[in-house]
Amino acid sequence: MHRFTLACVFLALAACTASPAEPTGSSSVTVGSPTLTEYVHLFNHSRFAIGSPTYQKSEASIDKVIGDWGVFGTDQKTRSVLALPNADAPSRARPALTTDPAVHNAAVRKYFVDAGLPADEVDSVSVHTMASASGAGSDPPTSWEFEAYTSTISRQYDGVRVVESHAWAQFNDLGEVVTESVYWPEVSKSVAMAATAFRKQLEDPAAKAAFFAKVPEGGRLVIHHTPAAWKGTFSAMVSYDVGGFGKTKHYDASGWSFTLPHEG
C-alpha cells in the first residue's frame, strides 16, 4: 500500500518564501488617511499551538519563539510571520475544526480581525483543502479523505486587490492554530491615491478607450508590493496586469510596461 497526500501548494511556497516573525506591534493610521495600515501578527495575539515551555532565539534575521510543538518566527526586516508545527506536534494529529469551508473561512477572518488586522482592508477569504488517499502499487487512488482546511485572507484598497499581502491559518477541532502566516505591510498614501486614480481612469469611457488603445484588455488593476522574502528596499506600485504565455505583463496608468523590482 502507498499513501498519497494532496496538500495546498501555497503552503509549501509560503514555507519557502515567507520568513517567520515576532515584532513589537501593528502600526496605526490617521483617520481619513488613504494609507494602507501595516498589521504585524504578534505572538501574544496568536493561537498557534506551540507547546511549552517556550524560549526565544534570533538567527538568520528571524526572531523565533520556540516551543515543544513548533516555531513562531518574525522576520526582523519585513515583520512577516510564519508559524510552523513540528512533524510530531499534537495539533497536527487533531481533526479539522470543521468540514464546512464557509465556517472555517469565517473563523479565520474573525481570528485575524480580532487580533488587529484591518477589517476594511479584507477583500475575500478563500479556502484550500488538504486531503489524503491510499492505493496499491502504481494504481491511482480511488477516493480521497478530507484532512483539513487552510483559509487565506486577501487584501484590497478601494476595490483594488493588493496581490502580495496575505494572512492564512489552519484550525483544528480545539480551535488551535496548526499553522499560520501573515504579511500585511504598510502601503503609502501616494500608492493608495494612485490606485484610486487609476481605477477612476478605467471607469471613464474616454480615458478607458485611450488606455486600451495601448494595452491589451482582459487584465486586472492591482497593487503590488515586494514580497515577504524580499531582502531589498520595500516598494509598492499600481499595475494593470495582463497574463499570457505563462508570464504576466505590468502596465502603468500611461500604458507603459514595466517590471516589478522582485522580478528583475
Question: What does 48-103 look like in DSSP terms, one character per residue?
Answer: B---SS-EEEEETTEEEEE-SSEEEEEETTT--EEEEE-TT-HHHHSPBS-S-HHH
Q: Please choose, from the candidates 221, 223, 121, the residue with its C-alpha nearest in 3D space to the C-alpha of residue 162.
A: 223
What are the pLDDT tens digits along the chain (264 aa)? 444 344 433 333 333 333 333 333 333 333 345 689 999 999 999 999 999 999 999 999 999 999 999 999 999 999 999 999 999 999 999 999 999 999 999 999 999 999 999 999 999 999 999 998 876 667 777 778 999 999 999 999 999 999 999 999 999 999 999 999 999 999 999 999 999 999 999 999 999 999 999 999 999 999 999 999 999 999 999 999 999 888 999 999 999 999 999 897
Q: Are 105 and 83 in contact (CB under 8 A)?
A: no
Strand partners, 154: 124
Output phi, psi for 140, to 5 deg.
Answer: -70, 155
| pLDDT number for residue 244 | 81
Q: In the numeric block, which cell numbers belong to residue 18?
A: 515567507
Q: Are 21 and 38 in contact (CB under 8 A)?
A: no
Residue type, position 226, single letter:
T
Q: Please choose, from the candidates 81, 70, 76, 77, the residue with its C-alpha nearest in 3D space to the C-alpha of residue 58.
A: 76
Tell me the HSE value of 129 on the side-chain side, using a 13 A CA sphere.
10
Please give the Cα distance from 9 to 232 (Å, whole number).
26
| pLDDT number for residue 38 | 97
Pairing of strands 220-225, 177-183: unpaired
Q: In the numeric block, which cell numbers belong to residue 64?
A: 523565533
Peptide bond preceding 205: is omega within 30 degrees of 0, i.e. cis?
no
